[in-house]
Amino acid sequence: MAANYWESSQFQRFLLTRYELAEIESTHMMQLTSHEITYLKIYFANLILKLGKRLRTRQEIIATALVYFKRFYINNTYYDIDPYLMAATCVYLACKVEENPHHIKHIWTESKAVYTETSADIRFPYDIPDIAECESYLLEEMKFYLVAYHPYQVLIDDNIKLSKPSMQAAWSIINDSFRTDLALVYPPHVIAVASLFLSRVVDQGNMSDIEAQQWFADLNVDITDVLQVVNELVELYKSWGGYDEAKMPELVTRYIADVAASSS
Tens-binned pLDDT, residue by residue, of the chain (264 aa): 445 877 777 877 888 888 898 888 888 887 889 999 999 999 999 999 999 999 999 999 999 999 999 999 999 999 999 999 999 999 999 999 999 999 999 999 999 999 999 999 999 999 999 999 999 999 999 999 998 999 988 777 655 666 677 788 889 999 999 999 999 999 998 999 899 888 876 555 555 555 556 656 666 677 889 999 999 999 999 999 999 999 999 999 999 998 888 776
Ramachandran quadrant class, 163 (left: phi over 0; alpha: psi -120 to 50; beta: rest): beta
Angle in degrees, 0-180, between the axes of helices 34-55 and 248-263, rounded to the nearest 10? 120
Rounded CA-CA distance 80/13 in Å is 22
What confidence score (pLDDT) does residue 153 get? 83
What confidence score (pLDDT) does residue 8 get? 79
What confidence score (pLDDT) does residue 206 get? 52
What confidence score (pLDDT) does residue 1 get? 47
Rounded CA-CA distance 73/80 in Å is 9
Q: What is the pTM of this model?
A: 0.90
181 contacts 21 by C-beta, under 8 angstroms: yes
